[in-house]
Amino acid sequence: MSWLVSLPCTRAEAEALSAEQPELEALADAPVVVTREIDEASGRWQLDAYLDDRPGPALLALIRALAPSAKGVEPSIEELPEADWVTLSQQGLEPVQAGRFFVHTSSYADRAPVGSVPFLIDAGQAFGTGGHDTTAGCLAMLDRLARRGVRPRAIADIGTGTGLLAFAALALWPRARAIASDIDPASIAVTRKNAAINHVPLGRGAGRLALALAPGTDHPAIRRRAPYDLVVANILAGPLITLAPDIASVTAPGGHAILAGLIARQMEPVLAAYRAHGFRLAARGGSAEWPCLLLIKRQRHGWRRKQRALHRASPSDATFGSW
């Protein structure tokens, strides 16, 4: 990225940016948009959009539409030296404590609380460093399941991002067979690197993590390992709804699904899609704005191996691992 467009915004606008932005996503060279709190005392926030080229009037208008509160404010437009701005924008992340897990960057490697399960996840080009409410909510929900005595033998992390949630699941259930998938090759590469850093063994057997480059569940390795006692999907509301039949098809009767990446107003449509495929809501975690849903598949629906995905995710839905 070589250009930066900055605008003041409100916290509400910053949080709303985690929802889908079809106008930006439709662009061939969509900007990377991040938000940050400038001053906690005054509640000042800022929107930063990183672009490959100097933005024209049309793109500037789209960016300005993301922060209506800044109407009348001229955006700051700055040319930047070549750098990996996706990574740089995530540097300085504070560590996150979620359940028994302590997720940190290299800067906090020596600060893990006694008795915690630490994971080193440095900033990079994949979602899932633990700093977002959705990832932290999933970590807390995994911990909650373990404390309840749930013991899954087969686990799938769909849209793994950095691999963090799959690592956490294996830390809780070290005898399980686990697989992590993502549609983005960069995420699979990041997960492989993070697995080595955190001493998570890769492979096909019990206690090891298999990796698959796939949209949703559409991969032979994912299908062969089904049914799963636990499926985790921290993606977006649209893909979650699209994947409801596929996730249902690989989840064992009585099995659990942890869903996140949706905002509060998207919860009912997501739940409706999964209820239609035999799930019921067992618990809600996460934050008020970013719910984390724990579902259980009803016994009466049974399980059958699908020969073919009936609702294969289209490229427009392919945002797995983007959180």
Going by pLDDT thresholds of 50, 70 and 90, the confidence category of residue 317 is: very low
Helix (H) or strand (E) holding 60, with range, is: helix 57-65
Sheet holding 3-9, edge to edge: 32-39, 44-51, 3-9, 76-79
Cβ atoms 237, 261 nearer than 8 A:
yes
Architecture of 3-85 per CATH? 2-Layer Sandwich (3.30)
Phi, psi values for residue 220, rounded to 5°: -55, -40
Binding residues: 135, 159, 182, 234
pLDDT at 236 over 90: no
Going by pLDDT thresholds of 50, 70 and 90, the confidence category of residue 30 is: confident
Question: Using one digit for the tens of pLDDT, what is the confidence trace for 145-172?
Answer: 999 999 999 999 999 999 999 999 999 9
**SS3 state at 255:** strand
Residue range 21-50: mean pLDDT, rounded? 76
| Domain 125-317 in the same topology as domain 3-85 | no
Q: Determine the pLDDT at residue 203.
A: 94
Phi, psi values for residue 36, rounded to 5°: -150, 150
Is the pTM value of this prediction over 0.75?
A: no
Q: Determine the pLDDT at residue 89.
A: 47
* Separation CA 33–CA 17 (nearest Å): 8
Least confident stretch, 15-24, 229-238, 272-281 = 15-24
Binding residues for S-adenosyl-L-methionine: 135, 159, 182, 234
Cis preceding-peptide flag for 201 (omega within 30 of 0): no
How deeply is 61 buried, as exposed, middle or buried, from its count of CB atoms within 10 A (0-12, 13-18, 19+)? exposed
Question: Using one digit for the tens of pLDDT, what is the confidence trace for 116-146?
Answer: 999 998 865 445 544 567 899 999 999 999 9
Q: Determine the pLDDT at residue 315.
A: 33
Question: Using one digit for the tens of pLDDT, what is the confidence trace for 200-220?
Answer: 999 999 999 999 999 999 999
**What is the pLDDT of the chain when averaged over all its residues?**
84
How deeply is 21 buried, as exposed, middle or buried, from its count of CB atoms within 10 A (0-12, 13-18, 19+)? middle
First and final CA of the chain: distance in angstroms?
20
Q: Determine the pLDDT at residue 83.
A: 53
CA 26-32-36 angle, to 5 degrees, is 135
Q: Which fold is adopted by the domain 125-317?
A: Rossmann fold (3.40.50)
Domain residue spans of the chain:
3-85, 125-317
Q: Determine the pLDDT at residue 1.
A: 47
How deeply is 280 buried, as exposed, middle or buried, from its count of CB atoms within 10 A (0-12, 13-18, 19+)? exposed
